[in-house]
Amino acid sequence: MFPVIPARNSADSPHTGAASPLTSTVQITLGNTAGGYQSEGDRPTFAWQFFATVDSPESAAMVDKIDIGLHPSFNPSTKTLRIKTGETTARTETIRGWGVFEVDVIIHWDKAKVHTPSTTHLTWMLQATKSEASETSQVVVKTFGAPQQTGFLFSSNLTPPASSHQSRLSAGGNDVQVNTGVPKDDKHTVIAMVVDRSGSMRRMADEVHGGCNAYLEEQRKSDTEDGAHSTVIFTRFDNLSETIYDGVDLSSMPPISPTDVRPRGSTALYDAIGDTLQRTAAVVNELPKMPSVTVFILTDGAENASQRWTKSQITTQITKLKHESIGWDFYFAAANQDGMTEGAALGMDREQCTTWATSKGKCNYAFKQSNIAYNRKKKLGFKGYTSEERMEMA
């Protein structure tokens, strides 16, 4: 079961004289039915029907339409669904085919009722082996007027890993404390990775898990060469922040799988960063000596879904943690924005922030060059990306 995050007031007002938007969390379930298997030549076919369900008629009233993108072999390859008044589910007609593919889903919110976001991008991998399969995502929206009561829960038959840690911190607990009264350990590094898995990452999905694994493999090689060891904290995020590897030894950590970072949902960037800083401090504070800490953040979009951490809080914490008395390193790689400007606005050093293009291969370069930059810092003391490394990612 997925938790419902309580609605809270937002301080942002859409226009003068209007009520401030209120935050609600909507449960959206995507799935399909499958059956009617037949053999047609050398290709067995099956009949399927895609569906999208929201958690209540009140939430359904906030949805304008739902666009879905099918395999390019379909004509037309896009369909528009609408939820009927008083209902909670929209379905396609029954479709017959022989293959499975990823369905792109764009939720268009009613602009008269929802302040932000205007759209939410999700994906669903068509299932052929079960009579019905589904997965639920939580989407945070800011609404005009009273918050929607979204107290229903939907079960998912595609559950997160058992090791997943979904952090729920109170607003009063957003201060990261690090014990500095211990000797330093130059042979131990804590690597904290914060990786975007929001729906817009679908174009780079194959590169993301590969880039994560290449980054970590290079760190394993560096540890072997230097006689050192590393501990990993790995957080993935969409509108949920989930730490799926929490203080594990790099030498025995399994690879990041495509499922671990499968794109879905919105972008709770601040929650993911804040939660990771808290988890990293907890790991560090349990050690007898203070390790080196590097925090690597990769995203392809702007914040739009955080519930527990604000930009100001994140900036304050990063500014404190990178100070020489603590000395954490931060690397920020962002697409679809000026990475240097955005990273600096969050308190990171500009030279340790970069922009990567969303064209093929550039996401891999972002991981690769960030790894090179950090290893160069360990050996030579220079922390930033070079101009040549930035050009490779552009």
Tens of pLDDT, residues 55-70: 999 999 999 999 998 8
Beta carbons of 239 and 292 less than 8 angstroms apart: no
Burial label for 326, CB within 10 Å (0-12, 13-18, 19+), is middle
3-state secondary structure of 156: coil
pLDDT in tens, 4-34: 333 333 333 333 334 456 878 899 999 999 9
3-state secondary structure of 114: strand
Beta carbons of 321 and 274 less than 8 angstroms apart: no
Domains and CATH numbers, the chain: 22-143 (2.60.40.1970), 165-393 (3.40.50.410)
What pLDDT is stored for residue 205 in this prediction?
62
Burial label for 187, CB within 10 Å (0-12, 13-18, 19+), is middle
What pLDDT is stored for residue 145 in this prediction?
59
* pLDDT above 60: residue 225: yes
What are the structure tokens assigned to 66, written together? Answer: 């739902």
Q: What is the pTM of this model?
A: 0.63
Alpha-helix residue ranges (DSSP H) falling in 187-264: 205-226
What pLDDT is stored for residue 310 in this prediction?
95
- Of 184, 188, 185, the closest CA to residue 223 belongs to 188
pLDDT in tens, 154-175: 233 333 333 343 333 333 368 9
Q: Of 12-16, 123-127, 159-163, 187-191, which one has max mean pLDDT? A: 187-191
**Mean pLDDT of all residues belonging to the chain:** 84
Beta carbons of 340 and 367 less than 8 angstroms apart: no
